Amino acid sequence: MFKHLRKWFVTHFFGHSRQRARLVSKDGRCNIEFGNVEAQSRFIFFVDIWTTVLDLKWRYKMTIFITAFLGSWFLFGLLWYAVAYIHKDLPEFHPSVNHTPCVENINGLTSAFLFSLETQVTIGYGFRCVTEQCGTAIFLLIFQSILGVIINSFMCGAILAKISRPKKRAKTITFSKHAVISKRGGKLCLLIRVANLRKSLLIGSHIYGKLLKTTVTPEGETIILDQININFVVDAGNENLFFISPLTIYHVIDPNSPFFHMAAETLPQQDFELVVFLDGTVESTSATCQVRTSYVPEEVLWGYRFAPIVSKTKEGKYRVDFHNFSKTVEVETPHCAMCLYNEKDTRARMKRGYDNPNFVLSEVNETDDTKM
């Protein structure tokens, strides 16, 4: 009891004071910024304007959406007002009765703006219209109609693409809050639980990991965020996962694993970040998506396993209890991977037996001292 209270006290009162810097947050966002980018490089974002608009947040996208339409309506409204002003169609010029204006019923800037809106969105109330007396007005009408179609196509396409991005599908893929280290199949493994909250599948799913840590090369170069591949598997392999129910993926801690030289006592003092990726194709849209999360040493529990969450009801249906999704149970686990392998090696030698080279067999001659 005292052990658990001490662990809770340390986690809640001292854990927040030593927050580790994370490259990837728990919900998959990358915590990185680019500094001192040249102005020429920033111009590239405007060259690829489509991707730039798609990556914008909704508040900025809606601002651009509203500004593009209102701005174009007002700009062409000024041009229609200028045409009426040059052709002396406005009431302040007192046109004659036989005067034919370029645009009927434009009496000022407000009516010019309304005619610009009607032209671009093809409403056409029929009260204001272009006459055949002015070639400039006909050219302006054609130009605004074409530009209006381009603006409508771009902005509506950007809104639709933003809504249908597979990034939103990734929100329905969840990882366990903690990773655990325990024995699985006689091997010491690092285990993570992942679940698909939708009934639609991710086709061709592939899961892998990257261990990020600061390393120093033999030449003395310090590499920040050095990436080490971490292979995750399930019992059926890590390719084409049948992702219909929550899966427990695991990484075998063998001599080739970066976790091999870690122990239960030294794990909290380590400085690393384990980033886990899940790639797949959305079944309904055939769009590829990637889900990612990360774990720091404080989120890796040594000597625990996940509680079972899949059961079968009396009606014959399989039920997944997400209440126990991140729940862990303490189990007996070796405090280091080397201890487990040394224990196995010792047991194997005891079963095989071995010769003692220092053992020498000496013969003893027996004498019969009994006389008859």
Q: Report the b/e string of 263-299 with b at 16+ CB within 10 A.
A: eeeebeeeebbbbbbbebebeeeeeebebbbbbbbeb
- Taking residues 320-329, report their average pLDDT: 87
* Domain 169-351: homologous superfamily in CATH: G protein-activated inward rectifier potassium channel 1 (2.60.40.1400)
pLDDT digits (tens, 9 = 90+) for 52-80: 888 888 899 999 999 999 999 999 999 99
DSSP structure class, residue 69? H
Write down the pLDDT at residue 344.
59
Could you give the residue range(s) of every CATH 2.60.40.1400 domain in the chain?
A: 169-351
Write down the pLDDT at residue 15.
45
pLDDT digits (tens, 9 = 90+) for 270-312: 889 999 998 888 877 778 888 899 999 999 999 999 998 888 8
**Amino acid type, 172:** T
Mean pLDDT, all residues of the chain: 81
pLDDT digits (tens, 9 = 90+) for 83-105: 999 999 898 888 888 888 999 88
First to last CA, the chain: 81
Percentage of the chain lying above the pLDDT 90 cut: 29
CB 114 within 8 A of CB 74: no
pLDDT at 13 over 90: no
Cα distance between residue 183 and residue 189, in whole Å: 6
Kindly report which listed range (136-140, 235-239, 337-341, 359-363) carries the lowest average pLDDT score: 359-363
Write down the pLDDT at residue 280.
85
Cα distance between residue 120 and residue 72, in whole Å: 9
Could you give the residue range(s) of every CATH 1.10.287.70 domain in the chain?
A: 56-163
The owner of tokens 């971490």 is 230
- 226: Cα separation from own chain's centroid: 20
- Taking residues 248-270, report their average pLDDT: 89
Radius of gyration (Cα) for the chain, nearest Å? 36
pLDDT at 208 over 60: yes
- Taking residues 252-268, report their average pLDDT: 89
pLDDT at 38 over 60: yes
Write down the pLDDT at residue 17.
40
Higher pLDDT, 34 or 210: 210
Write down the pLDDT at residue 111.
93
71 C-beta neighbours (distance < 10 Å), count: 12
Q: Which CATH architecture has domain 56-163?
A: Orthogonal Bundle (1.10)
